[in-house]
Amino acid sequence: MSDKKPRISFEYFPPKTDAGRERLLTETTTALNAINPAFFSVTYGAGGSTHDSTQGLVTAVKAAGIEVAPHLSFGSDSEATIEQLLAFYQEKGISRLVALRGDVPSGMGGFGQMAHANELVKFVRAKTGDHFYIEVAAYPEVHPQALSYNSDIHFLKGKFDAGANSAITQYFFNVESYFYFLDQCAAIGIDKPIHAGIMPIINFTNLARFSRICGAEIPRWICQRIESYGDDKDSVVKFGIEVVTQLCQTLLDSGAPGIHFYTMNQVEPVREICNNLGL
Ligand code: FAD
């Protein structure tokens, strides 16, 4: 295991209701912040669908004295909208960003002036210099629209060449896919940290549906085990915590630079997994 402390971060999405937002900002953030993460991040609906709620949540987390990284997924947003957001975040003292292409929801039109995330990274650097520490997305199991494994890594390098500082991966359950990916990235000259994105198992039906869309593989043995529990939700949760703890332990023991938890706005099971890991 590396001597360096792994970086831990937690991802939120903007809740749809005031009550959900209140709960997230009080109970959830207090409980997760006790784990001492490097930052929280807040997703942004491509096409601006969460423009105000992302901005509002980011501002509230920052106002509580907690480090926060807004996601910026341009979708069909214009350059002017992105520039306004950057100015807003700078003014609020935000110094991190997660820069993405985003997936535009159907019916919201196509992409705006930019087509790929490397252009957004370039744009942010052109407008704000070195102000932001920029994260980008990486795909150990390959982005679903990628032309090939190699082209996907090549374009990840393009995002670093444009000025990104580090990456966070799409979630995965096959630990080998992550370490193989790190080796392949290193082989083409990527020398920046690639943090492991980890999804806790909360609602398996939703997870299975989303995994099919984003191209993350849930190993057959995990699916079979969960199916065998039927409606016994407690056993599913217990098994999910066991599997994800084991995955994270292997990542940390093998030198992953950090873990980014897709919290789904829930304290548990992320807190229990972190406890199991001694974080
Ligand atoms: P890109 O890097 O542009 O890649 C998209 C595809 O194009 C890939 O197949 C790639 O191989 C290819 N490609 C990349 N660059 C080029 C190029 N220059 N020329 C040709 N092809 C290229 N989505 C949201 O809407 N909001 C969020 O807040 C959000 N947060 C996320 C956080 C993380 C950590 C991750 C992993 C994903 C997140 N997503 C989010 C999902 C993400 O927007 C989608 O996966 C999207 O489809 C791709 O985004 P990207 O930034 O990786 O795009």
**Buried b or exposed e, range 17-35, using 16+ CB within 10 angstroms:** eeeebeebbeebbeebbeb
Q: Which of 68, 151, 155, 263 gets mutated to test ligand 1 (max ligand atoms within 8 A of its CB)? A: 155
CATH, range 7-276: 3.20.20.220
- pLDDT band, very low/low/confident/very high, at 106 (cuts 50, 70, 90): low
Read off the pTM.
0.97
| pLDDT for position 47 | 74
Cα 28 to chain centroid distance, Å, stands at 18
| pLDDT for position 245 | 98
| Ligand 1 closest atom vs CA 44 | 28
**134-175 residue pLDDT tens:** 999 999 999 999 999 999 999 999 999 999 999 999 999 999
Is 27 marked active-site? no
Q: Write the Ramachandran bin of 252: left for phi over 0, alpha for psi from -120 to 50, otherwise beta.
A: alpha
| Ligand 1 closest atom vs CA 102 | 43
Hey, what's the torsion of the CAs at 50, 56, 60, 62, to 10 degrees?
Answer: 80
**8-54 residue pLDDT tens:** 999 999 999 999 999 999 999 999 999 999 999 999 987 778 889 99
Domain ranges of the chain: 7-276
Cα 249 to chain centroid distance, Å, stands at 19
What are the C-alpha distances in Å from 239 to residues 76, 140, 277? 40, 24, 16
Ligand 1 pocket, Cβ-based, cut-off 6 angstroms: 43-46, 71, 73, 98, 100-103, 116-118, 137, 143, 145-146, 151-152, 155, 158-159, 168, 170, 197
